[in-house]
Structure 1
Amino acid sequence: MKIGADLEAFMGRLGHRFARPELLMRALTHSSIGSATRPDNQRLEFLGDRVLGLTMAEALFRADRAASEGQLAPRFNALVRKETCADVARQIDLGAVLKLGRSEMMSGGRRKEALLGDAMEAVIAAVYLDAGFEAAQALVLRLWGARIDAVEEDARDPKTSLQEWAQARGLQPPKYVTISREGPDHAPVFTIEAQLANGESERATAGAKRQAEQAAARALLARLEGQA
């Protein structure tokens, strides 16, 4: 199967050359353009999620043999969540080769976190089907790289930590108020303020509401802990 220069370049960034490039084509095909003759990547996404999960579970299990299940679970969740998959997808510029329908292209689909994360999982599955588990495992470990080493910090969910801080002091759970939403629909920018009942607050801005909430919680928690 002949492929274009853009996919050749992507395989170079990915670090895997496909013996069956049709698998890669399918992994990059969003449901907005899929058809009976052009299958989309949803089934591959399902499989890739499991390959990623097993890879990360084993990596964490081997990395810290003294860790309890309660310690491993949040680390695992931090490594396999959609945001992390989307970050890895951006690292290899996966969005540039996504096959999208016109409506998704017009709405900025190549930058959407959910689409990028799903496609990254589908690409992992394509590598697994093309070359086996060891190849897919090696790919994941290489692309996730330093994220695995830094997972302890990433696993600490700032919203949960801030809520625990408030509850320990008899305060109501934090509130997250949307201060502004700017930019076009396909690339919004949210400014969120994390507020505590004692009057403490911090703001943060991000391209997704959840990310802005987490960043605001992290900033507020860091200041409160610094004061303590």
Structure 2
Amino acid sequence: MLTILVIEDEERVASLLKCGLEESGYKVAVAYDGEMGFRLFTSSKFDLVISDVILPKKNGFELCKSIREIDQSMPILMLTALGTTDDKLDGFDAGADDYMVKPFDFRELNARINVLLRRSTNDIKDVNNDIIYADLRINLKSKKVTRGETEIKLSPKEYNLLVYMVENSDRIVTRMEIADKVWNTHFDTGTNFIDVYINYLRKKIDRDFDVKLIHTRVGMGFIFTDNP
């Protein structure tokens, strides 16, 4: 039985999540503040973490960063009433894999959980492989990224975006496709967080190198190629 850690300070919401997830076949542990959540995480084994953002003692972003310091691959889903582009970027920068805004449909939550758990399993199968494109190398086990002899430090979301683009190199990927495959969400045309992350990635991957790999195709999307 897979085990999920829920960190939620509203007891009613925590209780609803626990009951719903247990009905879906998961074992659930609940913490009501960030510090308690981190203590539980470090003392037990979990397959996925669901955390609110606004928490007592240690907020969700800080908690997420703390978890990432000791476990880069743990699937983390953030739940919050905050829904602006900046809020989502803060969550992804902290290391979250997905982001849902309250109120949410429990069926969608279950679907997001299933995607994250499948991705986590697939990551384990691929840990001994490297992805190489031109002078770019990605080690899927250590998550180390280099161009030539230069190591490039990426946030977890930047890393996931890069891996997806390299795996789909030399073809145009749309914003809708990136939202679905990297963020596990439907693309909201009212936000620009995908373009923001493309720009983050471009600065780290391309800015200091003569050959540019990330290119924009106006009106279509983006393409990862050394032959634009």
TM bucket, shorter chain? 0.3 to 0.5
Q: Could you say which structure has the greater relative contact order, defined with CA pairs below 8 angstroms and 6 or more residues apart?
A: 1
Larger-Rg structure: 1
Give the TM-score normalised by the residue count of structure 1.
0.35
Give the TM-score normalised by the residue count of structure 2.
0.35
- Looking at secondary structure, tell me which structure has more helix per residue: 1
- Looking at secondary structure, tell me which structure has more strand per residue: 2
